[in-house]
Structure 1
Amino acid sequence: MSVTDTGTEKTLLQIIEAMAAGAPEEGYTLREIFDRLDESAFGAGLFLLALPCCIPFLYGVPQIVALPMMALALQMALGHEQPWLPDALGTRKIDRKGLTAMAEGGRKWLGWIENFSKPRFGAITGPRSERLLGFVLCIFCASILVPLPMTNTVPGFAVALAAFGLINRDGILVVIGCVLGILWVSMLLVLALPVALAAIHFALMWLTGLLGS
């Protein structure tokens, strides 16, 4: 986190708010945004990218950040020490309007975690646990790409909570985020199974009718 002129430390949400307020109309690329966060931790990057996914009815930005989120989560799972985005993802741009919506939505929906979160249950946020957490978060990020209404909000909250817990070494927040995401993915799988079976059934009926005609 950065320090203000008065010597007090800015929180991550305050850094995002200041960045949005000072952004040009065309905004910044994801790589520029990461540089302005002044953070080398995966948690800060994942939290930032999860913000637009948490905001209901915010369209466009979640689709920009979903793949970069997966890339960061995968790097965590592979044991990388610092986050990195390839040019194809790092050059994606979020304009000032999108950044402002992220900052305002982050404060509205997730401002409470700044007071709630504190270091606890450190074993859950340790280096060994980070790799497992990265794999789990990768699954949550993938679910955001499911082309159904409101599919980004719940997993977005799951990633944001777990990422903020990672930043503050708060094992409880990490567990809450993981439980929320696992419940969401489980629900998607339960709903997807009958849909898949129905699709197979109709495909077989169509194929039978085609061959019989």
Structure 2
Amino acid sequence: MSLSNRYFVPCLCRYLDNLDNLLEKTSQFLINTLKSHPEQYLTIGELLELLRRRSYGALLIMLSLAGLIPGISFFAAVADFLLGLQIALGFHAPKLPNIIQKQRIHRDKTLKFTEEVMPWLVRVEEYVKPRWEPLSRVNPRRVVGAIICVLAFIAILPLPFINFLPNIAIICLALGIIERDGLCLIIGCGFALVAMWISHIMVRVAWNSLMLAL
């Protein structure tokens, strides 16, 4: 084998592997990522490395799914907030502080939960495609990042069931980012507005109840 072929063939193989990963649907990619992890637990930092080639979108989806599982929801919401902040600031690649990266996620529990919501996610993916692409460019994406920050903050609030709708909205926004689907981003913003309205009502009710108790 010539010297040029010796370097060309491995590069071509790596390119084709990356192309397969990009063509693979996000839902299946998340399942395969969890199944291929050899340990019972994986840290958010390991998840960051595994999903880095899909940038922000896949990581936001996985963290939002994990955020629906008790025990990791707080740290998942904090990570979502930091990722949204980085999108708003225009960072090209996601980064998280060590204290967040060290938080562990139970692989089997996350895999089981992900497989349960997978039919819903697959159905959504059938309608997600590149369209209205100007809405997925840099400046609109920064607005989306700011919205994700607000949603993550709502998910952190210590109120029952308050984190469900914000995480669903983040998943929708993340799919819009991955597929450059402006319509999906608008739908995600609609979910975000509903989540903000419901959280506002719940916070007011909780505050009024606290004042009456005092």
TM class by shorter-chain length?
0.7 to 0.9
8 Å contact from structure 1 (residues 71, 85) kept in 2? yes
Note closer, same or farther for the CA distance 1:49–1:67 as it changes in structure 2 (3 Å cut). same
Deviating more after overlay: 131-140 vs 106-115:
106-115
State how far apart, in whole Å, the 2-side matches of 1:10 and 1:37 are.
Answer: 13
Secondary structure at the aligned position of 1:39 is classed as helix
Residue type of the alignment partner of 2:82: A
State how far apart, in whole Å, the 1-side matches of 2:212 and 2:134 are.
Answer: 48
Residue type of the alignment partner of 2:61: F
Q: Does residue 160 of structure 2 align to residue 122 of structure 1?
A: no
- Aligned-residue identity in percent: 25
Secondary structure at the aligned position of 1:149 is classed as coil
Residue type of the alignment partner of 1:154: L
Residue type of the alignment partner of 1:178: C
1:24, CA displacement in angstroms? 2.8
Aligned counterpart in structure 2 of residue 157 of structure 1, from 141, 148, 168:
168
Q: Does residue 62 of structure 2 align to residue 48 of structure 1?
A: yes
State how far apart, in whole Å, the 2-side matches of 1:108 and 1:61 are.
Answer: 23
1:193, CA displacement in angstroms? 2.3
Secondary structure at the aligned position of 1:112 is classed as helix
1:202, CA displacement in angstroms? 5.1
State how far apart, in whole Å, the 1-side matches of 2:117 and 2:97 are.
Answer: 26
Gaps of 5+ in 2: 1-14
Residue type of the alignment partner of 1:94: I
Secondary structure at the aligned position of 1:181 is classed as helix
8 Å contact from structure 2 (residues 162, 199) kept in 1? no
Note closer, same or farther for the CA distance 1:45–1:16 as it changes in structure 2 (3 Å cut). same
| TM-score, normalised by the number of residues in structure 1 | 0.83
Secondary structure at the aligned position of 2:53 is classed as coil
Deviating more after overlay: 101-110 vs 176-185:
101-110
1:161, CA displacement in angstroms? 0.4
Equivalent pairs, count: 199
When you count helix as a share of all residues, which structure comes out higher?
A: 2
Note closer, same or farther for the CA distance 1:178–1:107 as it changes in structure 2 (3 Å cut). same
| TM-score, normalised by the number of residues in structure 2 | 0.82
State how far apart, in whole Å, the 1-side matches of 2:52 and 2:155 are.
Answer: 27
Aligned counterpart in structure 1 of residue 120 of structure 2, from 92, 109, 112:
109
8 Å contact from structure 2 (residues 44, 103) kept in 1? yes
Structure 1 runs of 4+ aligned residues shifted over 3 Å read 2-5, 197-203
Aligned counterpart in structure 1 of residue 84 of structure 2, from 73, 85, 98:
73
Q: State the partner residue of 1:207.
A: none
1:65, CA displacement in angstroms? 1.1
Render the CA deviation track for 1:143-172: whole Å, top value 9, x for unaligned: 111222222211111000011111100011
